[in-house]
Amino acid sequence: GAGVSQSPRYKVAKRGQDVALRCDPISGHVSLFWYQQALGQGPEFLTYFQNEAQLDKSGLPSDRFFAERPEGSVSTLKIQRTQQEDSAVYLCASSLLQGPSSSQYFGPGTRLTVL
Amino acid sequence: AQTVTQSQPEMSVQEAETVTLSCTYDTSESDYYLFWYKQPPSRQMILVIRQEAYKQQNATENRFSVNFQKAAKSFSLKISDSQLGDAAMYFCAYRGGSNYKLTFGKGTLLTVNP
């Protein structure tokens, strides 16, 4: 596709519900990243995939957060038993190559509101 | 750990004028990359400009240019001939040479006045 797409764009969940956020990276991009952006803050790293391998999940806030990219393309970020502090915008980014010189391109994000 | 500081929460500029957004960073690495991203109200993060630390020449992209001072660990963004469409949140970001994740500052909200 022309850019990174994410769905849904908005998600409202009741506390305790599970949610799944989808990311479609730019076709052919090897690397995929998830970031969390709290209101009024810069994005913070959650996790990183190179193809289907999750190479770094050090930014995931708790074991309620789980991400996968089973075929090395589409990725899903799942949050179990959502809490109010999970409310944020979740951004997905992809880059063509795996090295640090490869620029990251972001999707529009999913705004999650937990009531 | 690397940190990125944007000391200006908000800035404003008159249309057609020039504005400079500040960014400082802290790192012990010698090889790294610096970026400026623009995030309009629609929330799509757009890459504005990037700078490789090993390059002495400041990067330029049309009306956007940077002033990269490696010794001072400073990376400011200059927007010339400001346009109404430049209004957005601007984030400075760092990426280490042996790393892959971006570390962002808290952002500067730029308002362009007609």
Q: Do B100 and A48 touch (CB under 8 A)?
A: yes
> Under 8 Å CB-to-CB from A110, ≥6 apart: which residues?
A6, A7, A8, A9, A10, A11, A21, A89, A90
Q: Kindly state the percentage of chain A with pLDDT values over 90.
A: 89
Q: Which residue of B has its CA nearest to A42?
A: B106
B49 CA to chain A: closest CA distance, Å?
10
- Mean per-residue pLDDT over chain A, rounded: 94
Closest chain A residue by Cα to residue B35:
A103
Nearest to B53 by CA among B65, B71, B79: B71
C-beta of residue A72 within 8 angstroms of C-beta of residue A64: no
Distance in Å, alpha carbon of B34 to nearest chain A alpha carbon: 10
Mean pLDDT of the A97-105 span: 79
pLDDT score of B56: 86
Residue pair A5/A24 in contact (Cβ under 8 Å)? The answer is: yes
Which residues in B lie closer than 8 A to residue A48 (C-beta atoms)? Answer: 100-101
- Mind telling me how many Å the CA of A81 is from chain B's nearest CA? 26
Q: Which two tokens stand for residue B29?
A: 């690495």
Taking the Cβ of residue B9 and every Cβ of chain A, the question of whether any pair is shorter than 8 Å is answered with no
Q: What CA–CA distance (Å, rounded) separates B44 from A110?
A: 10
pLDDT digits (tens, 9 = 90+) for A20-76: 999 999 999 999 999 999 988 999 999 999 999 999 999 999 999 999 999 999 999
Give the pLDDT of residue B94.
95
Cα separation, A29 vs A96, whole angstroms:
4
Output the CA angle B109-B53-A3, nearest 5 degrees: 55
B91 touches A at CB < 8 Å: yes
pLDDT one digit per residue (tens) for chain B, 114 residues: 789 999 999 999 999 999 999 999 999 988 999 999 999 987 689 999 999 999 989 999 999 999 999 999 999 999 999 999 999 999 999 998 877 889 999 999 999 999
